[in-house]
Amino acid sequence: DVTVKRNTDVNDFFEMLSEIGRGKFGTVYLCREKSTGLELAAKLVSVNRRDERRNVEREVEVMRRLRHPRLIQLYDAYDWGKYMCVVLELITGGELFERVIDEDFVLTERACTVFMRQICEGIEFVHRQNILHLDMKPENILCLTKSGNRIKIIDFGLARFYIPEKKLQVLFGTPEFVAPEVVNFDQIGYGTDMWSVGVICYVLLSGLSPFMGETDIETMANVTVAKYDFDDEAFNEISEDAKDFIQKLLVKDKDERLSASASLRHPWLIQSALCTELHVTKTKLKRYVIKKRWAKAVSAVIALKRMGAKFEDVHEEASSKNGE
């Protein structure tokens, strides 16, 4: 069992090799354990504020309970005062959607059921531990390896322990994937994750985002009315079972949605042989993924500029102090 090692520098035990990812909260590095030579992923988060520290502590607490093959596994955790480091199993296959749009990947409905089934298995385990993930989106579904079809759910940074008697409301997530109760700041529950699973499935099958508007505000307005359709030609070849699966997840009332365990019993996920050969057109999904890549690059540039501006402020302040 992993406990946070206090006042310990992660660099004493792990060698940081290169950056592999960056999120809102931290930077993820490829690292090697000095004593074993094992390659792992290290998420380094600065915890200057008390709430930042609390968030990392919570993420570790959550991950300690989540020992399951469909979920990213916690390896170690370090507390070095201003920084905390969460050492995770390394996943080398990249994001699911990037994998799926690859030229040599043949996307059939059956392949989609294989992925959706694993996502539901992972979430079912999370929910069985009375935990909500609360940040289910394509970016947080990684492929274990470059070639196989196995996936893992990552990023428990927003996850919460769920106590049904206690009112739990949250104000975060990604507008495109959050449920109506999140937008409305109402009580959330297990169904909140299942809504996001429904949106992921809709995008995977069509390359279209069911509630996406021109702005975040517009997207959230679309989510609150929970209206969407399968009218686009992208759904022409999609099976009725698949649409029924989505329809039973994208329900406005969170308690009416399929639970994770019920979703695993849905005909689409058990009789996948019926839709084996149905081909899923990737044109729109490719466009979707490329657009996301651009948005990410642009927000990285904006963040850099903001940092640059701060730098200049500090520099100016220093210069004026020096009487320049």
Report in angstroms the alpha-carbon separations of 278 from 109, 202, 237, 272: 5, 16, 7, 10
Report the run of H or E that residue 84 belongs to, with start and end.
Answer: strand 83-89
Closest contact distance (angstroms) between CB of 135 and ligand ATP is 6
176 touches ligand ATP (CB under 6 A): no
Site string for ligand ATP, 112-151 (x = CB under 6 A): ---------------------------x------------
Residue 120: CB atoms within 10 A of its CB come to: 27
CA angle (158 as vertex; 141, 155 as ends), nearest 5: 30
CA neighbor of 287 nearest in space, from 174, 201, 206: 206
- Measured between alpha carbons, how far is 154 from 133 in angstroms, rounded to an integer? 9
Binders of ligand ATP among residues 6 to 35 (CB under 6 A) are: 20-21, 23-26, 28
Q: Which of residues 30-59 bind ligand ATP (CB under 6 A)?
A: 41, 43
Nearer to ligand ATP, 27 or 247 (CB): 27
248 is in an annotated binding site: no
Nearer to ligand ATP, 82 or 279 (CB): 82
- Is there binding between residue 96 and ligand ATP (CB under 6 A)? no
Please pick, among 76, 79, 135, 241, the residue that the annotation labels catalytic: 135
Q: Closest approach of Cβ 226 to ligand ATP, in Å?
A: 24
SS3 145: coil
Minimum distance of ligand ATP from residue 117's CB (angstroms): 22
- Least Å distance between CB 27 and ligand ATP? 8
- Nearest 5°: phi and psi at 45? -130, 130
Total residues binding ligand ATP (CB under 6 A): 18
List, in order, residues 6 or more apart from 315 with CB less than 8 Å away.
none
Give least dist CB 139 to ligand ATP, A.
Answer: 5
Q: Is 91 in the site for ligand ATP (CB under 6 A)?
A: yes
Residue given tokens 């642009």 in the structure block? 298
- Output phi, psi for 20, to 5 deg: -120, -10
User: Would residue 255 show up in a list of annotated catalytic residues for this protein?
Assistant: no
Closest C-alpha to 140, from 96, 178, 174, 100: 96
Residues annotated catalytic, as ranges: 135
- Which residues fall in the annotated binding site for ATP? 43
Q: Contact residues for ligand ATP (CB under 6 A)?
A: 20-21, 23-26, 28, 41, 43, 72, 88-91, 139, 154-155, 157
